[in-house]
């Protein structure tokens, strides 16, 4: 079935109803905000980073079920991973987890907003803590070209 409404399966509804890692972190090492100008979805991500590892991550904001479910999954994937591993997370990691590989173009930005915020957050963190700026700039590019 290729019906667009099929994307509203159990997992998406559950995640959107009970988002995982939703909220704020006190004194985060990095925090980043972005929004989608066309639909008004808006996501903030806070991260705690210890020994080059994401020890805690939370998100908050407003968005549709797709946006909330993908943000939940993304934070689950990210938590406990090293910075190098987090840098390698790409859109298929998030989309495949929720069976959204064939999401229509107009909704893809809902699904990937949190990944964009995550990449931007990492860019902002690494910019402050690392010397290799050329390598870091790649992250910024990745975030900008995500969708």
Interacting residue ranges for other proteins, rule: CB under 8 A: 3-5, 7-8, 13, 16-17, 38-42, 62-68, 107, 110
User: 78: exposed, middle or buried (C-beta count within 10 Å: 0-12, 13-18, 19+)?
Assistant: buried
Shortest Å, Cβ 147 to other proteins: 15
Q: For other proteins, give the closer residue by CB, 98 or 126.
A: 98
Q: For other proteins, give the closer residue by CB, 38 or 51.
A: 38
For residues 108, 114, 119, 121, the Cα torsion angle rounded to the nearest 10 degrees is 150
Shortest Å, Cβ 116 to other proteins: 17
Cα angle, residue 115 at apex, residues 143 and 71 outer, rounded to 5°? 160
Shortest Å, Cβ 44 to other proteins: 14
Q: For other proteins, give the closer residue by CB, 20 or 64.
A: 64
- Least Cα distance to 19 among 81, 67, 86 occurs for 67
Q: For other proteins, give the closer residue by CB, 6 or 135.
A: 6
Q: For other proteins, give the closer residue by CB, 39 or 89.
A: 39
Shortest Å, Cβ 122 to other proteins: 26
**In angstroms, rounded to a whole number, what is the distance separating the alpha carbons of residues 141 and 3?**
33
**In angstroms, rounded to a whole number, what is the distance separating the alpha carbons of residues 36 and 9?**
24
Shortest Å, Cβ 47 to other proteins: 24
**In angstroms, rounded to a whole number, what is the distance separating the alpha carbons of residues 101 and 56?**
27
């Amino acid at each position: 079935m290729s019906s667009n409404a099929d994307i509203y399966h159990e997992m998406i509804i559950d995640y959107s109803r009970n988002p995982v890692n939703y909220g704020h972190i006190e004194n985060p090492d990095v925090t980043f905000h972005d929004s989608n100008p066309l639909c008004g979805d808006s996501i903030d991500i806070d991260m705690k980073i210890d020994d080059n590892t994401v020890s805690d991550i939370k998100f908050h904001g407003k968005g549709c079920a797709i946006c909330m479910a993908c943000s939940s999954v993304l934070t689950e994937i990210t938590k406990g991973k090293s910075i190098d591993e987090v840098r390698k997370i790409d859109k298929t990691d998030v989309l495949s987890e929720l069976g959204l590989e064939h999401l229509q173009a107009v909704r893809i930005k809902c699904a990937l907003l949190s990944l964009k915020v995550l990449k931007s957050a990492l860019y902002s963190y690494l910019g402050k803590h690392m010397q290799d700026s050329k390598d870091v700039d790649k992250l910024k590019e990745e975030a900008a070209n995500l969708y």
